[in-house]
Amino acid sequence: MAEPRPDDPVAPPAEPRPAFERASTSVGRTRPREGVAIAAAVGAIAVATGLGWIAEHADLKESVPLIYVVAIVLIASRAGWRVALLGALLAVLANAYFFVPPAFAFPTKPRDLLMALAFLVVALVVGTMTARLHVYALVADRRARHAEALRGAARALARVEREDEVLRVAASRTAAALDGEAHVVVLAADGTVGDGVGPAGAVALPPGEAAAVVEAVGRGAAVHWEEPDTDAAVVASPLAGKGRGFGALVVRRARSQGWNEEGLALVEGMARVVADAYERVRLAGVAQRAELESRTERLRSALLSSVSHDLRTPLAVILGAATHLADRGDDLPLARRTSLAREIEREVDRLNRLVANLLSMTRLDAGAIRPSKEWQPLDDIVGAVAGRSERLLAGRPLVVDVPADLPLVPIDAVLVEQVLINLLDNVAKHTPPGTEVVVRARAPAATEVVVEVLDRGPGLASGEVEAVFERFRRGADSAPGQGVGLGLAVCRGIVHAHGGTLTAANRPDGGAAFRFTLPLDGPPPPDPRRDLADLDEGDAVEGSGT
Amino acid sequence: MIEPAPLVLVVEDEPAMTRLLTSILGEGGYRVFAVGTGRDAELQASSRAPDVVLVDLGLPDRDGIDVVRQLRTWMTAPIVVVSARGRERDKVEALDAGADDYLTKPFGAGELLARLRVALRHAARGVAGAPAVLDATDLRVDLERREVRVRGEVVRLTPTEWKLLAVLVRHAGRVVLQATLLREVWGKAAESQGLSHYLRVYVAALRRKLEQDPSRPRYLVTEPGVGYRLRDDADLAP
């Protein structure tokens, strides 16, 4: 683990905050690393003594203290200040014992003692200074990493757009940065505490935590406690946006890890980042709802104004035909009566489609349409639509061009059928009787199937290509009473719900082309058509009538 | 002695719809008794012993599906349910609960009469007497001789295609749920194994062999979101 542990054998450069003193110092310390450091320090002094002995024999006696100072610097830059002090003491003693005459005895002359004392002061100062530098380097490193963790969390959270996702990302980022367990608790509107949200979703709060969270929010400052049964040290840092606090970020670590100032600062920094992100998403949601409401309002008035015309026209035809039949039916020739009844039938079909589209649009707006996709061959649906659209197309020949080996497509059959019916309905509205209509499907890439509805009508006016998909929009050539222009908007909504796109264009050789894609997402299921060929070999045995 | 006209119990709460159904069915050669609630439906079904029951799933007092389930516990007469488009789940549920077929609102008079005709035909045959032969204009399927003829020509089917067609023939004219077809052709496990696309692929293969224009099937039609129906000429009549 790269993260320096707070119990590294170094002194904190500043006084720990009293509130957290207990956590950072009272924890039982097991120090395998300090034992090794002491052994290494003793070894270093021994080596320095050896080198000093060589120097003395090379007539370089004056450099012996320098050798010791180098050893102390080396010890202090690797181990903590306490080991550095030990090394300094050992060095002074060794120097005095081995090198200050009399050799192999401690000096007694005041002058030599004074020298030894001076050397001790130098050794101590050098040792502690070096150890301190080492600590500062560690702290700077740790702070840089914490700053990076905060920036990373802020970046990750900036991409998130849902409130619950903010909380999950926040928990996982915090847990990773602090090497502990983390979750976020958001107070309910009435100030009560429910479940927390961890990296994987909801987590139940251990007993007592809810009260601590409420306290942290109330105080506007981090609350810190220990849990003896789980051997954990916990911090709850309040989340506050522009207004009052709305929750807390809770981080749980092993007691042996404890909490020091940087750890706590990181928790508080994280809490600020999380609060900002949560606030942003929440406000965006509010703004979006307001926008949606005003759009819904505009739509509603557009709908009301078109309803009076476009719904009442077929109703008027139906009422007229029905009353005529009822009042004068006996006097009318059979052919006339039949034609009046068929008139009613046609208008009812139109009303039925209109109602279906209105319902779909409402459900699309509410996000209630979730395609229940199943892998299926497209020709099945195109066939059903072809059978049902004869009355709609009123004699326009329909050419179905769907290759038998088209891959299976994951779609909601009922919805895609509505898309095709609406597109054919649109063709019927805008093309002269008798012109050909083509439904064509192709799989140009392994990732999608493209379906086209092609006509030989007048095509789309320039500038209309995108506008046709707007709600309550009718083509300039539309005859009155031909629907409120919902059909294509519904098509686009359904295709989008499938993850595809719907576009319109003019065909180079005349007519309009509506084209939608259906993505082949996910692994396709095993296609039994491959087995069909094999099975055909066996059909002489069974099912052949012998 | 003349056999009395079959009695239809109509369970429908909209008076306008009840009037229309009574008129269409009356002229179609049925006797009609109409009730407006699920409670009355059960009372009248037991006292009048109708030949077929037509239930609108949107009843004021009870869930239509519950009515179907309740009736099915003791009644053998066929049940046809009426439901709106976009409520395919309701239809599947009603069929699962014991309904024999369904109609999607709004429907034409011809469709209504055809459904009732098919339902009564099946009821008359009973379970044991499932038809062994489907004889339509262009399509003849003989289950006993294991023979399929399209416009007089013998058509060869793979074993799976044959199994699938046989199930559809036994239910000729009626809708068969996807789940039922999967279970009967591929076994009980197929339902839960997500093999529903197998069914679609084999239906497409069957259509290529049986239909004149597979892209516009006349006999083997899809009921989107519910299942498949093998129509014979009786159903094709308006």
- Tell which residue, A417, A416, A438, has the closest CA to residue A427: A438
Chain B residues close to A408, C-beta within 8 Å: 197, 200-201
Segment A119-145 shows an average pLDDT of 84
Confidence band, pLDDT 50/70/90 cuts, at residue A394: confident
CA distance A543 to B161: 9
Omega prior to B106 cis, within 30 of 0? yes
pLDDT given for residue B11 in this prediction? 94
Answer whether residue A1 shows pLDDT above 60: no
pLDDT given for residue A472 in this prediction? 59
How many C-beta neighbours within 10 Å does residue A134 have? 19
Confidence band, pLDDT 50/70/90 cuts, at residue A361: confident
Q: What are residue A514's DSSP bridge partners?
A: A453, A504
Angle between helices A334-365 and A487-497 (to 10 degrees): 40
pLDDT given for residue A14 in this prediction? 40
Tokens read off for B38: 């699920």
Segment A209-235 shows an average pLDDT of 85
What are the angstrom distances between the C-alpha of A192 and each of A166, A186, A204, A355, A450?
A: 20, 9, 14, 45, 52
pLDDT given for residue A538 in this prediction? 41
Compute the mean pLDDT over every residue in chain A, rounded to the nearest whole number: 79
Query: DSSP label at A413?
Result: H
Q: Minimal Cα distance from A534: which residue of B?
A: B158
Segment A2-11 shows an average pLDDT of 43
pLDDT given for residue A120 in this prediction? 84
Omega prior to A102 cis, within 30 of 0? yes
Contact B224 A539 (CB under 8 A): no
Specify the amino acid at residue B126.
Answer: G
Answer whether residue A143 shows pLDDT above 50: yes
Segment B21-37 shows an average pLDDT of 92
Q: pLDDT per residue over A16-25, tens digit each?
A: 333 333 333 3
3 state DSSP class of A462: coil
To the nearest whole percent, how much of chain A has pLDDT over 90? 7
Chain B residues close to A542, C-beta within 8 Å: 146, 159, 162
Answer whether residue A104 shows pLDDT above 90: no
From B202's Cα to the closest Cα of chain A, the distance in A is 8
Compute the mean pLDDT over every residue in chain B, rounded to the nearest whole number: 86
Answer whether residue B73 shows pLDDT above 90: yes
Answer whether residue A456 shows pLDDT above 80: yes
Answer whether residue A537 shows pLDDT above 60: no
How many C-beta neighbours within 10 Å does residue A403 have? 12
CB A543 within 8 A of CB B157: yes
> Best mutation site among A350, A352, A379 for testing chain B: the one with the most B CBs within 10 Å?
A379
Contact A540 B222 (CB under 8 A): no
Contact A376 B197 (CB under 8 A): yes
Answer whether residue A516 shows pLDDT above 90: yes
Higher pLDDT: A226 or A363? It is A226
Answer whether residue A541 shows pLDDT above 60: no
Angle between helices B64-72 and B88-96 (to 10 degrees): 20
Of A356, A414, A525, the CB nearest to B224: A414
Q: pLDDT per residue over A150-175, tens digit each?
A: 888 888 888 888 888 888 888 888 88
Segment B195-215 shows an average pLDDT of 85
Q: For residue A281, what is the enclosing H or E element?
A: helix A261-310
Q: Minimal Cα distance from B225: which residue of A?
A: A414
Higher pLDDT: A290 or A368? It is A290
Answer whether residue A539 shows pLDDT above 60: no
pLDDT given for residue B165 in this prediction? 93
Specify the amino acid at residue B128.
Answer: A
CA distance A252 to A178: 9
Of B158, B196, B214, the CB nearest to A532: B158
For chain A, the C-alpha Rg in angstroms (whole number) is 41
Answer whether residue A432 shows pLDDT above 60: yes
Tokens read off for B47: 């006292």
pLDDT given for residue A118 in this prediction? 84
Contact B158 A386 (CB under 8 A): no
Q: Minimal Cα distance from B195: which residue of A?
A: A525
From B225's Cα to the closest Cα of chain A, the distance in A is 6
> Best mutation site among A351, A380, A541 for testing chain B: the one with the most B CBs within 10 Å?
A380
From A465's Cα to the closest Cα of chain B, the distance in A is 30
Segment A82-106 shows an average pLDDT of 83
Q: pLDDT per residue over A49-67, tens digit each?
A: 998 888 888 888 788 888 8
Higher pLDDT: A536 or B221? It is B221
Q: pLDDT per residue over B138-149, tens digit each?
A: 889 998 888 999
From A425's Cα to the closest Cα of chain B, the distance in A is 18
Specify the amino acid at residue B18.
Answer: T
Q: What are residue A233's DSSP bridge partners?
A: A226, A253
pLDDT given for residue A483 in this prediction? 47
Backbone angles phi, psi at B64, to 5 degrees: -55, -35
Pairing of strands A181-187, A245-254: antiparallel
Return all residues near B131 (Cβ < 8 A) that are at least 6 apart.
Answer: B125, B143, B169, B170, B172
Q: Cite the beta strand spans of A310-425 per DSSP E.
A: 374-376, 398-401, 409-411
3 state DSSP class of B100: coil
Interface of A with B (CB under 8 A): 345, 348, 352, 356, 359-360, 374-377, 379-384, 386-387, 400, 402, 404, 408, 413-414, 417, 525, 527-529, 532, 535-536, 538-540, 542-545
Of B108, B146, B216, the CB nearest to A386: B216
**For chain A, how many residues are written?**
546
3 state DSSP class of B83: strand
Of A352, A408, A545, the CB nearest to B197: A408
Q: What are residue A247's DSSP bridge partners?
A: A186, A239
Segment A216-240 shows an average pLDDT of 86
Return all residues near A356 (Cβ < 8 A) that are at least 6 apart.
Answer: A418, B85, B86
The verdict on pTM exceeding 0.80 is: no
CB B95 within 8 A of CB B226: yes
- Backbone dihedral region of A525: left (phi > 0), alpha (psi from -120 to 50 degrees) or beta? beta
Q: Minimal Cα distance from B227: which residue of A?
A: A413
- Tell which residue, B91, B84, B124, B120, has the closest CA to residue B105: B84
Contact A359 B86 (CB under 8 A): yes
Contact B106 A348 (CB under 8 A): yes
pLDDT given for residue A355 in this prediction? 82
CA distance B124 to B131: 11
Tokens read off for A176: 């990773």
pLDDT given for residue A202 in this prediction? 85
Across A128-132, A404-408, A526-530, B168-172, the highest mean pLDDT is recorded for B168-172
Segment B47-52 shows an average pLDDT of 93
Return all residues near A192 (Cβ < 8 A) that are at least 6 apart.
Answer: none
- Tell which residue, B147, B129, B207, B141, has the closest CA to residue B169: B141
To the nearest whole percent, how much of chain B has pLDDT over 70? 92
Of B106, B196, B208, the CB nearest to A352: B106
Of A383, A387, A528, the CB nearest to B201: A528
Of B106, B201, B224, the CB nearest to A377: B201
